[in-house]
């Protein structure tokens, strides 16, 4: 069975493969494996809309396969749930992870945000070979640290401390994320749905 992941984010793809490569019946590909692929602009106003845009853009070329598109981001309560869908571009259209993190910490300092409550949210859209649309959602609650800590992961991982932990995701590492992250939760729901279908 082929599963195509509609993402150009190497960090996300690596997280998916850590889990999915353990399933022998599943062949995992990404949009990078398509010879000529131009991603559509993510101009949706919600995580769901952007996840759907990603999935449909790959599905147009891989109609007989399962295609998974997802959109995820960080929502900081004290910032009105920003950066939200703008998480990857918070500091600008081509911002690096470090620039986005720096802006986040600066905004929280300027506004004196306390408590520093936040959550990662992931919405996943899977388009099936029968043209069904499955939607899954995962949330990981936590807080934003006052400084960058840890070298693993990507995005806002160096400043996000999951609920019940004292270390950031960048310190806790990939083993923790593939068990408990927002993305892992949505992926687990998808795999459960596949099992129900006998796949």
In the chain, the number of structural domains is: 1
What is the tens place of the pLDDT at every residue in 85-116? 999 999 999 999 999 999 999 999 999 999 99
What is the domain extent for residue 75? 2-196
Q: Are 30 and 13 in contact (CB under 8 A)?
A: yes
Q: What pLDDT is recorded for position 42?
A: 86
The list of the chain residues with pLDDT below 50 reads none
Query: CA–CA separation, 31 vs 79, rounded Å?
Result: 33
Q: What pLDDT is recorded for position 104?
A: 98
pTM across the whole model = 0.92
Q: Are 140 and 117 in contact (CB under 8 A)?
A: no
Long-range contacts of residues 170-176, Cβ cutoff 8 Å, at least 24 apart: 174/14, 174/15, 174/18
Q: What pLDDT is recorded for position 80?
A: 96
Q: Are 76 and 108 in contact (CB under 8 A)?
A: yes
Return the CATH number at 98.
Answer: 3.90.950.10
Task: Supply the residues annotated as catalytic.
Answer: 71
Does the N-terminal peptide bond of residue 142 adopt cis geometry, omega within 30 degrees of 0?
no
């Amino acid at each position: 069975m082929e599963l195509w992941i509609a993402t150009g984010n190497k960090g996300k793809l690596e997280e998916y493969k850590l889990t999915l490569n353990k399933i022998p019946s599943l062949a995992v590909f990404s949009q990078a494996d398509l010879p000529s692929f131009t991603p559509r602009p993510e101009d949706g106003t919600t995580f769901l809309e952007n996840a759907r845009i990603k999935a449909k853009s790959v599905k147009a070329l891989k109609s007989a396969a399962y295609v998974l598109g997802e959109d995820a981001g960080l929502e900081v309560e004290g910032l009105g749930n920003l950066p939200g869908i703008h998480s990857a571009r918070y500091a600008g259209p081509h911002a690096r992870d470090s620039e986005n993190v720096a802006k986040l910490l600066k905004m929280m300092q300027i506004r004196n945000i306390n408590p520093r409550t936040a959550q990662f949210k992931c919405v996943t859209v899977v388009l099936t070979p029968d043209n069904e649309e499955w939607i899954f959602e995962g949330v990981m609650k936590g807080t934003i640290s006052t400084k960058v800590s840890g070298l693993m992961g990507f995005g806002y991982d160096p400043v996000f401390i999951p609920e019940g932990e004292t270390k950031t995701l960048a310190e806790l590492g990939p083993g923790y994320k593939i068990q408990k992250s927002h993305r892992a939760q949505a992926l687990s729901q998808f795999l459960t749905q596949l099992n129900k279908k006998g796949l």
